[in-house]
Chain A
Amino acid sequence: MRPTFDPFVIPFVAGMTFVLVYCIIGLIRIIFQLPKEDRRKFGRSLINPKSAWKNFKDLCSDCLFHVKIWKRKPLLGYMHSSIAFGWFMIIVIGHFETIAFSPLKDMQLPFFQKLTSNLYMPIFFRFFSEEASTLSAHIYAFLMDFFLMVIISGIVIAVVKKKKPRKVGLKRVTKFGFTEDMVRISLWTIFPIRFLAEASMANIGGGSFLTKFIGFDLLFGGHYNETLSYILWWAYSIDLAIFMTLLPFSRYMHIPAEALLILLRNAGLKTTEPRKGYAVAEIYSCPSCGLCIDVCPMSEVKENYRNTAVYFIRNIRRGRRRRDVKHKTEICLMCGKCIEVCPLGIESLDIKMAQRKKYYYKVKSNFSYLERLQDYKTTGQQAQSSPLDAHNSKILYFAGCMSHLTPKITLAMTKIFEQANENYEFIDKDGSICCGRPMMLTGKVDEAKALIEKNTEMIKNSGAKRLILSCPICYRVFKEEYNLEGIEILHHTQYINELIENEKISVDRSDKRYVYHDPCELGRAFGVYEEPRNIIDNIGLLTQGKSDKDLAVCCGGSIGSLAMTKEERDDITKNSIKDLTLNHPEEIVTACPLCLKTFARLSPIKVKDIAEIVEENLEINEELGIRN
């Protein structure tokens, strides 16, 4: 008869208890920090069968199978799944095995002892069990060995990744401090030690191909050394205890936090405070995998890779170094590429936005001058008050501030409107007030509201049904923050594509080679990827850049960044141009006046807006005279 308890389990039990208590307290704190409305939402989503099903699906695909990493980097997907999923399976199968064959099965024990034994028994099962010869015991033993092998293979890849990141398709990996290194080493050693411990007494506890044949028979030569074995079991337990105790202070906290994040996200919650509630769940969910480092435009300059999302989140989590947090918050271009690749979909930009909102500005904006504006034509010097009247025209065209520095875009648009025989009104021909997005990006959300309200009022009064925008920055804020019920908001790429598809305009096709740059605020923010490509397909040949669509590199001009210097921006721009011109296009096409201006300064080839190339290739219908 094997013993049912041994002192070596104590470190593990202590570590495990600590982790459980820590997580429960953390969970309660997060729930408590949520705004009341969010808490209610969360509660409802847990009982709603529809969202519960989604929760279950997401938990399986993200926490267990890591579908997102598999999609981006299959090798890393395997590495991660083999360890996480393998471990999960060992715990599950281990529990079933314990239930089936536990030496405690028929024993009457006091409640507390029963509880703790349930905690340690499945983990150290081979120590307490006796080899059984039934078929099911063999199947269990085989499965346990199989998953142990899977985990060890994953650890091998992890070691390679750490030493030679390029072998697994990464340029840079996150750098860690002492605690993180300790946790990682303890994690890496858990399973090899478990294998040794189990193998060392496989003749008593049983085992399968890995522990018994490879381990006991080959490695230990078929001899059972009681002292060595006992030491190995102690080592295994202590190793687990180290891992468990340090887990809350390390990146491995993402294991429990991720599950909570999925539930909160599915309840429709968003970050409102940079260090409270939902944001905490996100911050603790960051596994510091560093996938965001290589994609971040800032990483192109070597010293700047520490401005990337993973380091930002780490700074926030540690709660110190306020200056670092501020710098990382304000230098970010807000292009959103890091979120695209994040296996956990952590919305670090929301945290940055929340953080920007926190910064205090002593001088408050004063937009009282907006009150005397009646329409976009009214300027300070020449007040000619004829309220904007577009009731007769169905379409409003709002070019935006930046487009006034790129007259080719606005002229191309007016020509396209004319050729399509559209009834339109160019509302900000003589300038306008800002759309509010740049102000929002500085964190001054309430102040941006004043601009938004004024624009809303003027656009609504016009009675138009459609609003065409040339600037993706405007487009985003109009879509997200404006309440323009009954007015369809389109970026000119979408609008021109529609005109071509409905054959309201026609364009000539040539062999000219173009490459398309996806502006962040149009592409990643709204997924407008196909419309511009469709337009270019009608005009010439579309070549591929190094990366496009959701992985397109920011042009470097983004007004999302507040603190970035001109030199840092130039480096990003040059790199982005290099990526775009990979396949030797003749012209770079984009759909944003800011991207256009930024690229035009440093590009060796011509940079044009999509409206320009459409206008250049328009089949002119002579019957339509020039109006306006």
Chain B
Amino acid sequence: MKEHNILIIGGGPAGMETAYQLKQLGLKPIIIERNDRLGGHLAQWDRLFPTSETAVGLLERLKENTKDIEVKLDSRITNIEKINGTFHVSLSTNKNFEVDAVVVCTGFELFNAERKQEYGYGIYDRVITNAELEDYFKTHDDKRVDEPRRIGFVHCVGSRDVKVNNTYCSKVCCATALKQACEIKDEFPDADVYCFYMDLRMFGKGYEDLYLRAQKDFDIKCVRGRVCEVSENIEGKLVIKAEDTLLGTPMKMTLDLLVLMCGMEKAKGVEEIQKMLNLESNNDGFIENSGSFVGINRTKGKGVFVAGACTSPKTLPDTIAEARSTAMEVFNYLIHNC
């Protein structure tokens, strides 16, 4: 088989793993990343659920695998044109090259919590997001996390909510919340930690164990009810309102820290790439793939493939598995078409 170039759009876990597998298959992937580093959201995370492995460990592993692969950082795609089955790609760095297949691995964006004004993010100091808490765990440098005595986690921020036009479940927040709850409890053993959830979707391997550990070892208290309003009292503490739906009674609670579990949304700027490759969006705003079963890696554009959270919210194991299957799909496509 002759050497084929494959364009990988996005250098997150999905892009890196797809590239690695393609390389193993004897092909030549090229990763285009708009940031100045690889890793995507993984690079911002401290530890991963359900086992609390470090994110750095996984990232280093992925990086190691991609070290012989051509990576163009700080680059954006300005144009892709398909002529006779070959994609002509132009980059913002004024480089042009040709590829035989494209894999879209643009990933996701975390929901902007300011859009849920009633949660007070950006208004009250002690309201932070899951990403910011993760950053705190990495750096221990955030004045807002200051010996909190009572901490609340709000699940489903920006997910399962027509009021922000996102009706889907973001899949990772339940487990992330419990992981972070355990971690912060570990850090501040005297603190009371409450998780406000609608449904605890602990579907993956080891997730239920995480739930049990959170209850048994860390005394995390789960309240079934969505937080509706956050305000600040005279002492500057947060006051939240929610319904304890299992008891059927509204409740108020004073907190020192509120962590919003922001869900996944389609990545910013992905519309431009969709336009270039003629890719449609599904109802949730993510990129539409060709079906829910055998077509998950393909799109309706010939030679255009997808992997990872650009088609729907995904966990890391899902993403990596999908990246590998996408590599296989690309390989098969090239054998039969080029």
Contacts and interface: CB of A to CB of B under 8 A. Distances in A.
Contact of B118 (A381, A406, A628): A406
B123 A600 contact: no
A601 B234 contact: no
B117 A404 contact: no
Contact of A600 (B115, B124, B228): B115
Nearest to A602: B165
A601 B117 contact: no
B229 A411 contact: no
B163 A408 contact: no
B266 to A, nearest CB: 15
Contacts of B174: none
Given A405-B229, A601-B163, A601-B165, A411 B118 contact: no
B1 interface: no
B123 A407 contact: yes
A266 to B, nearest CB: 47
B304 to A, nearest CB: 27
A407 B163 contact: no
A530 to B, nearest CB: 28
B230 interface: yes
B65 interface: no
Contacts of A407: 117-118, 120, 123-124, 229-231
B162 interface: yes
B235 to A, nearest CB: 12
Contacts of B164: 601
Given A405-B118, A406-B118, A628 B234 contact: yes
A600 B115 CA distance: 8
Give the residue among A405, A407, A411, A602 with the most B Cβ atoms within 10 A: A407
Contacts of B123: 407-408, 411
Interface residues of A, number: 13
A572 to B, nearest CB: 16
Interface in B101-136: 115, 117-118, 120, 123-124
B117 A405 contact: yes
A36 interface: no
A402 to B, nearest CB: 11
A417 to B, nearest CB: 15
Contacts of A364: none
Nearest to A593: B117
A601 B228 CA distance: 16
Contacts of A406: 117-118
Nearest to B122: A408
A302 interface: no
Contacts of A597: 117
Nearest to A628: B234
Give the residue among A405, A406, A566, A597 with the most B Cβ atoms within 10 A: A405
A110 B99 CA distance: 107
B163 to A, nearest CB: 6
A408 B162 contact: no
Q: Is the interface of A mostly helix, strand, loop or mixed?
A: helix
A405 B115 CA distance: 12
A602 B165 CA distance: 8
Contacts of B118: 404-407
Nearest to A410: B231
B272 to A, nearest CB: 16
Contacts of B117: 405-408, 597, 600
Contacts of B115: 600
Interface string B230-253: 110010000000000000000010
A404 B123 CA distance: 13
Contacts of B252: 381
A404 B165 contact: no
Contacts of B230: 407
A602 B229 CA distance: 21
Interface string A380-421: 010000000000000000000000111110010000000000
A625 to B, nearest CB: 14
Nearest to A429: B231
Interface string A617-628: 000000000001
A628 B115 CA distance: 28
A597 B163 CA distance: 9
B59 to A, nearest CB: 35
Nearest to B118: A405
Contacts of A404: 118, 229, 231
B122 to A, nearest CB: 9
Contacts of A601: 163-165
Contacts of B228: 405
Contacts of A628: 234
Nearest to B239: A430
Interface string B159-176: 000111100000000000
Contacts of B162: 566
Contacts of A566: 162
B167 to A, nearest CB: 12
Nearest to A406: B117
Nearest to A379: B252
A81 B256 CA distance: 71
Interface in B192-245: 228-231, 234
Give the residue among B117, B162, B231 with the most A Cβ atoms within 10 A: B117
A381 B252 CA distance: 10
A131 B231 CA distance: 89
Contacts of B229: 404-405, 407
Give the residue among A381, A566, A602 with the most B Cβ atoms within 10 A: A381
A484 B49 CA distance: 59
Contacts of A408: 117, 123
B116 to A, nearest CB: 10
Interface string B126-166: 00000000000000000000000000000000000011110
A407 B120 CA distance: 7
Nearest to B231: A407
A303 B234 CA distance: 52
A185 B252 CA distance: 69
A597 B234 CA distance: 26
Contacts of A381: 252
Interface string B38-66: 00000000000000000000000000000
A74 B164 CA distance: 44
Contacts of B231: 404, 407
A574 to B, nearest CB: 12
Contacts of A405: 117-118, 228-229
A408 B122 CA distance: 10
Interface in A430-462: none
A233 to B, nearest CB: 69
A213 B109 CA distance: 81
A406 B230 CA distance: 10
A598 B165 CA distance: 12
A196 B173 CA distance: 83
Interface string A593-606: 00001001110000
Interface string A49-61: 0000000000000
A411 B124 CA distance: 10
Nearest to A380: B250
Given A404-B118, A404-B231, A407-B230, 19 more contacts: A404-B229, A405-B117, A405-B118, A405-B228, A405-B229, A406-B117, A406-B118, A407-B117, A407-B118, A407-B120, A407-B124, A408-B117, A408-B123, A597-B117, A600-B115, A600-B117, A601-B164, A601-B165, A628-B234
25 contacts: A381-B252, A404-B229, A404-B231, A405-B117, A405-B118, A405-B229, A406-B117, A406-B118, A407-B118, A407-B120, A407-B123, A407-B124, A407-B229, A407-B230, A407-B231, A408-B117, A408-B123, A411-B123, A566-B162, A597-B117, A600-B115, A600-B117, A601-B163, A601-B165, A628-B234
Interface of B: 115, 117-118, 120, 123-124, 162-165, 228-231, 234, 252
Interface of A: 381, 404-408, 411, 566, 597, 600-602, 628
Smallest CB-CB A-B distances: 10 pairs? A405-B118, A406-B117, A407-B120, A407-B123, A404-B229, A408-B117, A601-B163, A408-B123, A407-B231, A411-B123
